[in-house]
Amino acid sequence: MFSISDIDNIIINSLKEDMPAGDITTDNIIDENAMSFAKMIAKDSGVIAGLDVAKRVFELLDQDVKFDKHTEDGQWVSKGDVIATIHGKTRALLKGERTALNILQRLSGIATITRQYADKIKHLKAKVVDTRKTTPGLRMLEKYAVRVGGGTNHRFCLSDGVLIKDNHIKAAGGIKKAIELVRNKIPHTIKIEVETETIDQVLEAIDGKADIIMLDNMGLDMMKEAVKIINGKAIVEASGNVTLDTIVEIAETGVDIISVGSLTHSVRAFDISMKIT
C-alpha cells in the first residue's frame, strides 16, 4: 500500500504549510504541559477512510498521544457518531486538528462517493476505477480511499503503464503507429491501452493489438457497437462524463471497466469535527 515514511512526508509537509513558524495562538495561550481529551465526530453519514493517517498526525506532534478508533476504514458511520477519541498534549491536539481533519475529510469523501458508484453496478461485471485527476501530493492517499470505498485503481502514474491518448495519436501519426513505436521500447510485461473516440479508431486499436481499449465520451449506442466489435480481443474501458445517473446504462453495454474522474477531482469533503471536552 504505502510506507510510514511516505505518510510522514505528506503529514510533515502539511504541518509546515499550516504552521511554518509555529502556532502563535496556541503557543501563547496553552501551557506546554496541559493535557486534553478530544472527540472526532461525524457530521455526515458515509464511509470513513484515513483514520490511521489522522492518528499519525497527532503522533508526530506528541509521541505519547493516545488515539482510539471507534470504527475502521471502510465502515459506514452515521451523523453524530464518535469515530475516534484522542488524549494528549493540548498543544498537539490543537496544532494537528486541521491537518488531521483535512486529510480524513477528503479521504472519507472519496470513499463515500466511490461506494455509491460501486453499489450502483455491483450486479454487473464492470468495475469502477479512478484516474490520475488527484490532488497534487495526495495521490497515494486518494487512491487508497478509492479502494476503501470499493473501487479499484487505474495506473498510479505515467511510469506504470502505457495509455495512448488523443495527443499521442496525433503526434505519432495514428493509433497503429503509436502502438508500434511504444511496443518496441517497453518490456513485454506492460500492457498498452489506447483511447478511442470513434468506431474507426476502435478497429485500428484492434488491428494494432492493443491490450485495453478505452471508449472515450462515446454515446451508449456506439459503446454497445464497440463492445460487440472488440468481442473479447481487449479489455474495454468506458470513460468520460460518467455520473451516478448514467453509470448503470454504461455498465450494461458490456464494458469491463468504468473510469470516473470525479471520484477524486471534485469530491465533496465528508464533514467531521473535533471537539475538546
Report the sign of the C-alpha dihedral through residues 100, 106, 110, 112, in that order.
Answer: positive
State the catalytic residue, choosing from 195, 204, 237, 256.
Answer: 195
Q: Is 154 left (phi over 0), alpha (psi -120 to 50) or beta?
A: beta
Q: Look at residues 161, 173, 177, 143 and name the one whose alpha carbon lies nearest to residue 214.
A: 161
Which of 69, 120, 127, 133 is labelled catalytic?
Answer: 133
Let me know if 91 is a catalytic residue: no
Number of H helices, E strands in the chain: 11, 12
Q: Is 133 tagged catalytic?
A: yes
What is the per-residue DSSP string for 114-163? HHHHHHHTTTSS-EEE--S---TT-HHHHHHHHHHTT-B---SSTTT-EE
Q: Are 138 and 121 in contact (CB under 8 A)?
A: no
Of the residues 44, 97, 216, 237, only one is catalytic, namely 216
> Tell me, what DSSP letter sits at residue 174?
S
- The residue from 16, 43, 66, 165 that is catalytic is 165
Residue type for position 128: V
Q: How far apart are CA 24 and CA 30, in angstroms?
A: 10
CB 50 within 8 A of CB 108: yes
| H-helix or E-strand spanning residue 202 | helix 199-207
Identify the active-site residue in 39, 98, 120, 127: 98
CA gap 185, 180 in Å, rounded: 9
The yes-or-no answer on residue 185 being catalytic is no
Question: What are the catalytic residues?
Answer: 98, 133, 165, 195, 216
